[in-house]
Amino acid sequence: MVREKRDHLLDGKISASENIHILQERIRELDRNINSFLHVNEKAVEDAKEVDLKIREGNAGKLAGLAIAVKANINVRGLPASCASKTLANYISTYDADAVRMIRENDGVVIGIANCDEFACGSSGESSAFGATNNPAAPGMIPGGSSSGSAASVAAGMCDIALGSDTGGSIRNPASHCGIVGIKPSYGRVSRFGLIDLSMSLDQIGPLSRDVHGSALLLEAISGKTGNDPATTENEVESYSDFKKPRGLRIGMSSDFERMCTDKRIHDKISAFAQSFSRKTGSELKEIELKYVDLSVQAYYPIVYTEFFSGTRKFDGRKYGRKIEESCGEEVLRRILGGMEISKSEYHGAYYRKALAAKQLISKDFENAFRNTDIIMLPTTPILPHKIGTKITDPRTMYAYDAFTIPANLSGICAGVINIGRIEGIPVGLQVMAPAFNEKLLFDVLRECEVIMHGD
Amino acid sequence: MTGTDSVRKQAKQIMDDFMNALDRLGEISMEYGLERKEQTRPDPKEQDFPEFRKSILKNAPKKNNDFIIAEKKKW
């Protein structure tokens, strides 16, 4: 796990360059059956050797030689940022995203670029132009998306931690399906500079890892106000990895989520775990009302369609890449054409404004809920992941996967996922939501969940 | 109907269905505004990358020395 690996790196039991060598070997051995990496960084060993010098001098940063996979929609200078699309298949990044710069400043090593749904438009990991990603934790099933490669590479032990992006669940969904930890930070916690946006008012970059410590460490490194993203805030970046045992919490659970959970076994598993957690921590389970949460999907997609249409106008094939409408897959085209339709002047912005108004109501729902609760526990997805290649003709079927993850993006709060077992051999993730900028509480709760599942 | 037309039509249908669902909310008055301590953004950290110009031009589909070439009205 990340805690032990980091201790070994700092103690000199393993060097950073050895760590990279071992993981690169693992990638060569395993990834042909998983397809989680689009590009392996040839300079990673060289970068690791520089970190080794700093470790020997005793002044290495908090990520000290850990190997990090970066989603293909995040810029890493000198490496491809294809967004898993033919549109940008040959595009090489000319700069580091803020999150990547901060990883380097903390002596993390970028091991490669992770596969994803094309332009982050998906929740299955099947729509990459470079092939679907397999689920190492449930082979033959989708790994989830859109941060499919990030989740799969972590689950298969081909990297130590990964960066993904989450607009409506794209970190949490694959974290759940692959049986790992994934965090969507509060909107404004992490700079979006260098993230090729899906929906600028909803996107956040976040970590995925095999243990809670890994995500906590990475989020400490990449959080904070930067001049490049005006949405980032002054809120203090706490020591998320300095865990405190939570006691006496008020845990919100909503019968709205129970009603929306198509596979009742998932709800039953979440409910049983929440009861176990409340007993072990002296906490109280409380019913909360979220009046408008069942309209989250309907509020979300008009915003995404409009903002994605706007954000993709630069892909016209002039300065870089190809014209997006001539080179993208069906879901990307659907969002562009849908966004173009509802942005027409004849509608006077009605679709977008109505969706923003619904977003505001859903946000107030959570604001009210958090007056009487500390955290909310709920499932991550309403159904289990399907087999790779299953024919799904109506996109709304895929959109429904996001019903439990979208609300956190609409309300700007933080949310994380941790594995709490399996159904039919498929991992099931518990989702925990906390108030905006209360990532400290979120991590304390997730760590306690980890202790309940696996011991200290 | 071409493939693009059918995708466009389906996308518009999805949006219309979602808007009909949101009709349940009736008229909502929006609250605007964002409180900030500072109104201007701080100077960003600059990245030292001498090869930046070369790197940008390398990504261009068509170029002539320092010029990116694009056909007028093509996009």
Task: Kindly report, residue by residue over A229-247, the tens digit of the pLDDT.
Answer: 989 998 999 999 999 999 9
Nearest-by-Cβ selection for B7 from A94, A337, A361: A337
Q: Compute the average pLDDT of residues A274-301.
A: 95
Quickly count helices (H) and strands (E) in chain A: 15, 11
Domains identified in chain A, total number: 3
Both tokens assigned to B68: 């990116």
On whether both A78 and A141 belong to a single domain, the answer is: yes
Confirm whether B61 is domain-assigned.
yes
Residue A428 lies in a domain: yes
Q: Suggest the residue from A191, A226, A298, A354 to mutate for an interface test with chain B (most B CBs closer than 10 A).
A: A298
Q: Flag whether B18 is in a domain.
A: no
User: What single letter denotes the amino acid at residue A313?
Assistant: R
Q: Considering the domain boundaries, does residue A352 fall inside one?
A: no
Lowest mean pLDDT among A38-47, A86-95, A214-223, B27-36: B27-36
| A335 vs B: CB within 8 A | yes
Residue A243 in any domain: the answer is no
Q: Which residues pair with A378 in a beta bridge?
A: A431
Q: Does any domain span residue A282? A: yes
Q: Do residue A312 and residue A169 come from a single domain?
A: no
- Residues 40-59 of chain B whose Cβ lies under 8 A from any Cβ of chain A: 41-45, 47, 49, 52, 55-56, 58-59
Residue numbers in A near B4 (CB within 8 A): 325, 333, 337
A193 and A161 fall within a common domain:
yes
Look at residue B24 and tell me if it is in a domain: no
Looking at the partner chain, which of B30, B47, B70 has a beta carbon nearest the beta carbon of A95? B47
- Whether residue A270 sits in one domain with residue A173: no
How many domains are there within chain B? 1
**Residues A129-147 pLDDT 10s:** 999 999 999 999 999 999 9
Is residue B32 situated within a structural domain?
Answer: no
CB-based contact A320 B60, cutoff 8 Å: yes
| A239 is a domain residue | no
pLDDT tens digits, one per residue of A173-220: 999 999 999 999 999 999 999 999 999 999 999 999 999 999 999 999
Length of chain B: 75
pLDDT tens-digit map of A380-406: 999 999 999 998 888 888 898 899 999
Examine the domain organization and report whether A266 and A379 are in the same domain. Answer: yes
Residue A236 counted as domain residue: no
For A76, the domain range is 2-222
Both A441 and A309 in a single domain? no
Angle at A36 between CA A30 and CA A41, to 5 degrees: 90
List the domain range (segments joined by +) for residue B58.
48-75
- Give, as one character, the DSSP assignment of residue A227: T
Q: What is the rounded CA–CA span in Å between residue A305 and residue A326?
A: 18
pTM of the predicted protein model: 0.94
A272 and A394 share one domain: yes
CA–CA separation, A220 and A315 (whole Å) = 33
pLDDT at residue A1 greater than cutoff 70: yes
Domain boundary among A347, A366, A388: A347
Parallel, antiparallel or unpaired: strands A204-209 and A161-166? antiparallel
- Would B14 be classed as within a structural domain? no
A398 and A269, same structural domain? yes
Helix (H, G, I), strand (E, B) or coil at B68: strand
Shared-domain flag, residues A342 and A445: no
CA A212 – CA A244 distance, rounded (Å): 13
Active-site annotation of A, residues:
71, 146, 170
Which residues face A423 on adjacent strands? A426
Distances (CA, A) of A146 to A121, A142, A170: 7, 11, 5
**Mean pLDDT of the residues in chain A:** 96
Q: Residue-wise over A59-72: b if at least 16 C-beta within 10 A, else e?
A: ebbbbbbbbbbbbb
Whether the Cβ atoms of residue A439 and residue A413 lie closer than 8 Å to each other: no
Residues A209, A262, single domain; the answer is no
B65 within some domain: yes
Judged against a pLDDT cut of 90, whether residue A265 lies above it is answered with: yes
* A172 contacts: CB under 8 Å, gap ≥ 6: A166, A182, A183, A184, A380, A405, A415, A416, A417, A429, A431
Same domain, A93 and A153: yes
Q: Is B23 among the domain residues?
A: no
d(CA B67, nearest CA chain A) in Å: 10
**Residue A199, domain CATH:** 3.90.1300.10
Say if B54 falls within a structural domain. yes
- For B30, the closest of A234, A338, A357 (CB atoms) is A357
Tell me, yes or no, whether A341 and A321 share the same domain: yes
Tokens representing residue A368 in the block = 């009210």
β partners of residue A396: none
How confident is the model over A335-352, as pLDDT tens digits?
A: 999 999 999 988 888 899
Assigned domain for A143 exists: yes
Q: Residues A423, A430: contact at Cβ < 8 Å?
A: no
